Amino acid sequence: MKGFAMLSIGKTGWIEKERPVCGPTDAICRPIALAPCTSDVHTVWAGAIGDRHELILGHEAVGEIVEIGSLVKDFKVGDRVLITAITPDWNSLAAQDGYAMHSGGLLSGWKFSNFKDGVFAEYFHVNDADGNLALLPEGMDLASACMLADMVPTGVHGAELADIQFGDKVAVIGIGPVGLMAVAASAIRGASEIFAVGSRPNCVELAKEFGATDVINYHDGDIAEQIMKKTGSVDKVIIAGGTVDTFIQAINMLKPGGKIGNINYLGEGDYVKIPRTQWGCGMGHKQIVGGLMPGGRLRMEKLASLVMTGRLNPSKLITHRFEGLESVEEALMLMKDKPKDLIKPLILL
């Protein structure tokens, strides 16, 4: 079969591989919608997860089942399915511990285009099909469906990690596609004022549509100072962009007892820096937590229900549309080059 792969750090290309083998609890799918992710860009051009050779890229897809393991109970060949980007081993101690996304070790629930071939291929493999697939709800558009793989659950997890409560003032740092979903999730989790930090015009516009009450442009000065000038300290911060240094501003703008939820993959730097005095010399109850999106079928079904009932509309993220597997290359390059009007591309097959 044909797949679009990372050949080595900085290099991509089309390769031929054997179609993956279906174990007794697995499924083999063919993609019907795909999307590249900024992490694919980091994987290839920044070498964020180390070198990889002939590893098929991609972890955001909607698919159709073409082969199904003998022990799978709830799915059959021909089913059109949502597939979560993170596919934990549900029969693991990490899952029993409530952290299935780390089954097999830190971050190891992330398998596609990390430990095994990704979804940018004629066929791809899904482990633990009963636990990691969900039926594509009747009537759901493929754009939204494809955003349910990663953008929605990651953005939503930011609001969960930051533990947003009714009437909270929330800052969302970074309003790329994940940050935008974090804005939307904050709004439907009960936040009142939402400070969206970003500058790209169509992201700013969508942030407002999704519920941001203020937009903070980092070109206009220190973002913590700008926000605190407007509102005093905030109750919660969701970090969906920036670097290891972004936590300095996040701590600075946070109230004692506030919480930071990080959903930004930190690709560089030795240390995340927590400013000692603003962190209350270690005693300010400013809680810091960051986490990989939880995967799994139940969560995907619940998030899909938010789309079906009109609470979330992730299809609005899509700014560029393509057709055919071959266009994943062009779509990925778009993510790499980030033209000004891009939020997220989608490929239909």
Non-local CB neighbours of 12 within 8 Å, separated by 6+ positions: 4, 5, 6, 44, 57, 329, 332
Taking the C-alpha atoms of residue 219 and residue 174, their distance in angstroms, rounded to an integer, is 13
Mark the segment that binds its own copies (CB under 8 A) among 111-119, 125-133, 197-205, 324-332: 125-133
**Residue showing tokens 């994940």:** 178
**Of positions 5, 33, 61, 100, contacts its own copies by CB under 8 A:** 100
Q: Which of residues 297-336 bind its own copies (CB under 8 A)?
A: 297-299, 301-306, 308-309, 311
192 counts as binding its own copies under rule CB under 8 A: yes
The residues near 141 (Cβ < 8 Å, ≥ 6 apart) are 315
Convert 274-300 to b/e letters by CB count within 10 Å (16 or more is b).
Answer: eeeebbeeeebebebebbbbbbbbebb
Integer distance in angstroms from the first to the last C-alpha of the chain? 16
Closest CA to 195 of 155, 235, 246, 165: 235
Q: Which one among 14, 99, 208, 348 touches its own copies, defined by CB under 8 A? A: 99
Binding to its own copies, residues 219-238 (CB under 8 A): none
Residue 97 in the binding site for its own copies (CB under 8 A): yes
Closer to its own copies by CB, 18 or 268: give it: 268
Structure token digits, residue 98: 């409530």
Position 282 contacts its own copies (CB under 8 A): yes
Q: Using CB under 8 A, which of 167, 201, 232, 324 touches its own copies?
A: 167
> Which residues inside 141-160 make contact with its own copies, applying CB under 8 A?
156, 159-160
Kindly state whether residue 280 participates in binding its own copies, applying the rule CB under 8 A: yes
Q: Is 52 in the site for its own copies (CB under 8 A)?
A: no
266 and 256 Cβ atoms separated by less than 8 Å: no
Residue from 96, 209, 323, 333 touching its own copies (CB under 8 A): that is 96
Q: Smallest distance, Å, CB 272 to its own copies? A: 4
Applying CB under 8 A, among 230, 273, 320, 336 the residue interacting with its own copies is 273
CA atoms within 13 Å, Cβ hemisphere of 70: 2
Residue whose token pair is 């019907």: 32
How far from 177 is each of 50, 75, 266, CA to CA, in Å?
Answer: 25, 30, 16
Q: Which of 1, 9, 244, 348 binds its own copies (CB under 8 A)?
A: 244
Task: Determine if 296 is a binding residue for its own copies (CB under 8 A).
Answer: yes
Q: Which stretch binds its own copies (CB under 8 A): 75-83, 117-125, 141-149, 270-278?
A: 270-278
Q: Does 195 bind its own copies (CB under 8 A)?
A: no
Q: Return the number of other C-beta atoms located less than 10 Å from residue 320's C-beta.
A: 17
- The smaller minimum CB distance to its own copies, of residues 142 and 185, is found at 185
